[in-house]
């Protein structure tokens, strides 16, 4: 991922990653750059005031140098506050460092001698290059080369030993600065790369978690899924009033034998998908399908007062959806539906392949009403029809025999008008 490249310039092999690193690094050092340039606005005037106490000076040249250096800083400040690109920042650093070094030499040239502040001044400029501008090793050394060469070719009287010593000292500072810059940048790049890996892994985990949550919400009601994430234990609730709907396709077994496996699966998928859409539309909770049997409940897990009305509307819509599905395939499909209202227990049990389910006598009665029902009709108990409004027409069937329950009044529910 990370390569040394040429001329000590480190780079990521991925261009997009390299671009992002340089951009983030530039944003991180901008406050330091701004502070350094503001400091230079005061440093150069202070230098101009102190020079007469250090050695010979050329007053006019000193004033010009100070004005030029402060002008350079003022020129860069709006650029740095304008969100510059990494290329602009690096270019500004190289140019500023080179010019500041040459300015130090210009002061000495004006004084007519290699005064004592030249070497310290050039070392300070070098420090600015690697600490404030944080130039890469190659760029910092290139900027330093400008004023080191300038120092060597400046026509000033000086002792050879002092010249060699100053060049060695300045070069040592440049070399150490470049080495420190290289080590720091490599560490920064490695930390950046590790952070990107962590971000990618976190994104993958979040994506998998989202996928898991979606699957869980497809299996369980949203509130139940949230509770299970908090406390993954057996979860059950008592509901004093709910409406349970059982539906079964009339003659589905012989029909599936005639159609074959694949057409049967496609038919069942189409039909159940239509039922699922209806359950969502009416705000009901689909519990499960068993073959061609479909179980849905109202008032669970979110308690509602109009659960019987919602379930009755869904039952009538299921009758129409089944007929439409059959007509689209040229098949005489009909559904038999039973509805009963009363108390139920609902929840999740088990530790593997768990599912939300409902239990109780209300569920058993709804199942018996479906079994004894009429194809293409919604058959409901007295407990259910007693909660319906005047949008429905209720036709009494009299008492019918329910397996294991004995005789019970039953009613056919239809849409009025």
| 3-class state of residue 291 by DSSP | coil
Residue among 135, 115, 116 at smallest CA distance from 125: 135
- For residue 268, being part of any structural domain is answered with yes
Eight-state DSSP code of residue 128: I
- The confidence score (pLDDT) of residue 7 equals 47
Dmax (CA) of the chain: 126
283 in the same domain as 359: yes
pLDDT at 360: 93
* Predicted TM-score (pTM) of this structure: 0.56
Annotate 305-335 with DSSP letters as a single string.
Answer: TTHHHHHHHHHHHHHHHHHHHHHHHT----E
Nearest to 223 by CA among 290, 167, 162, 285: 285
Closest CA to 411 of 312, 320, 322: 312
Is residue 344, in this structure, part of any structural domain at all? yes
Per-residue pLDDT of the chain (417 residues; tens, 9 = 90+): 555 544 467 888 888 888 999 899 888 888 888 888 888 889 889 988 888 887 777 888 889 989 998 998 888 888 888 888 999 888 888 998 899 899 988 888 887 776 677 888 889 889 888 888 888 888 889 999 998 888 888 877 777 887 888 888 888 999 998 898 889 888 988 999 899 889 989 989 888 888 877 776 666 666 666 666 666 565 788 999 999 999 999 999 899 889 899 999 999 999 999 999 999 999 999 999 888 899 999 999 889 999 999 999 999 999 999 999 999 999 989 999 999 999 999 988 766 667 788 999 999 999 999 999 999 999 999 999 999 999 999 999 999 988 888 899 999 999 986
Residue 42 in any domain: the answer is: yes
Residue range of the domain that includes 12: 2-202
User: In this structure, are residues 187 and 134 in contact, taking their beta carbons and an 8 Å threshold?
Assistant: no
d(C-alpha 187, C-alpha 25), whole Å: 12
Same domain assignment for residues 261 and 385:
yes
Q: Are 138 and 182 in contact (CB under 8 A)?
A: no
Sort 412 into a burial class: Cβ within 10 Å, 0-12 / 13-18 / 19+: middle
Q: 167 and 265: one domain? A: no
**Are the CB atoms for 256 and 249 separated by under 8 Å?**
no
- Take residue 146 and report the two structure tokens written for it: 């400008």
**Contact present, 8 and 140 (Cβ < 8 Å):** no
Q: Tell me how far apart the alpha carbons of residues 150 and 242 are, in angstroms, rounded to a whole number.
A: 93
195 and 243 part of one domain: no
Query: What CA–CA distance (Å, rounded) separates 178 from 161?
Result: 25
- Is the domain of 146 the same as that of 252? no
Residues 178 and 263 in one domain: no
Q: How many domains does the chain have?
A: 2
Together in a domain, 404 and 258: yes
Domain boundary among 153, 185, 202: 202
Do residue 190 and residue 246 come from a single domain?
Answer: no
Q: What is the CATH number of the domain that holds 292?
A: 3.30.70.1230
Element (H, E) at 367: helix 361-371
Is 138 in the same domain as 282? no
- Same structural domain, 167 and 248: no
Residue 183 lies inside a defined structural domain of this protein: yes
What helix, strand, coil percent values describe the chain, rounded to 5? 60, 20, 20
Q: Are residues 121 and 178 in the same domain?
A: yes
Those residues whose C-beta lies under 8 Å from the C-beta of residue 387, and which sit 6 or more positions away, are 243, 306, 307, 308, 309, 341
- In this predicted structure, what is the pLDDT of residue 212? 72
List, for residues 347-396, the tens digit of each pLDDT value.
Answer: 887 666 677 889 999 999 999 999 999 999 999 999 999 999 999 999 99
Rounded to whole angstroms, the Cα distance separating 304 from 189 reads 58
84 and 180 housed in the same domain = yes
Question: Which pLDDT score is estimated for 382?
Answer: 95
Last residue of a domain, one of 155, 178, 202: 202
Cα separation of 289 and 275, whole Å?
11
What pLDDT is attached to residue 56? 78
Q: Is residue 351 part of a domain?
A: yes
Distance CA 231, CA 241 (A): 26
Of the candidates 154, 180, 202, which is a domain's last residue?
Answer: 202
- 164 inside domain: yes
Measured CA to CA, the distance from residue 388 to residue 410 in angstroms comes to: 14
- Domain assignment present for residue 222? The answer is no
Q: Note whether residue 228 is domain-resident.
A: no
pLDDT of residue 5: 46
Segment 123-136, tens digit of pLDDT: 988 988 888 888 88
């Amino acid at each position: 991922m990370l390569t040394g490249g040429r001329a000590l310039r480190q780079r990521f092999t991925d261009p997009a990653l390299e671009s992002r690193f340089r951009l983030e690094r530039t944003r991180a050092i901008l406050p330091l750059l701004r502070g350094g340039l503001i400091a230079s606005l005061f440093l150069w005037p202070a230098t101009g005031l102190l020079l007469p106490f250090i050695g010979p000076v050329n007053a006019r040249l000193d004033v010009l140098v100070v004005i030029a250096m402060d002008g350079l800083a003022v020129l860069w400040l709006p650029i740095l506050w304008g969100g510059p690109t990494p290329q602009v920042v690096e270019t500004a650093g190289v140019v500023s460092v080179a010019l500041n070094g040459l300015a130090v030499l210009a002061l000495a040239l004006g004084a007519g001698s290699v005064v004592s502040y030249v070497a310290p001044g050039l070392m300070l400029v070098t420090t600015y290059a690697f600490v404030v501008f944080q130039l890469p090793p190659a760029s910092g050394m290139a900027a330093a080369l400008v004023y080191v060469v300038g120092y060597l070719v400046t026509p000033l009287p000086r002792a050879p030993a002092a010249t060699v010593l100053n060049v060695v000292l300045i070069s040592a500072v440049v070399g150490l600065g470049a080495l420190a810059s290289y080590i720091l940048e490599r560490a920064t790049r490695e930390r950046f790369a590790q952070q990107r890996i962590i971000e990618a892994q976190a994104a993958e985990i979040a994506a998998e978690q989202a996928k898991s949550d979606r699957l869980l919400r497809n299996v369980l009601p949203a509130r139940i899924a949230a509770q299970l994430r908090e406390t993954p234990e057996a979860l059950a609730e008592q509901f004093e009033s709910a409406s349970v709907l059982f539906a079964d396709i009339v003659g589905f077994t012989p029909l599936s034998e005639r159609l074959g496996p694949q057409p049967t699966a496609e038919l069942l998928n189409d039909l159940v998908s239509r039922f699922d859409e209806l359950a969502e539309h009416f705000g009901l909770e689909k519990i499960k399908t068993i073959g061609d049997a479909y179980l849905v409940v109202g008032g669970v897990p979110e308690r509602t007062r109009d659960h019987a009305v919602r379930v009755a509307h869904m039952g009538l819509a299921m009758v129409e959806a089944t007929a439409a599905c059959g007509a689209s395939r040229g098949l005489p499909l009909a559904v038999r539906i039973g509805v009963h209202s009363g108390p139920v227990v609902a929840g999740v049990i088990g530790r593997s392949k768990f599912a939300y389910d409902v239990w109780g006598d209300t569920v058993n009665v709804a199942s018996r009403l479906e079994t004894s029902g009429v194809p293409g009709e919604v058959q409901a108990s007295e407990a259910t029809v007693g909660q319906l409004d005047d949008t429905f027409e209720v036709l009494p069937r009299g008492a019918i025999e329910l397996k294991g329950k004995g005789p019970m009044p039953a009613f056919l529910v239809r849409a009025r008008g």
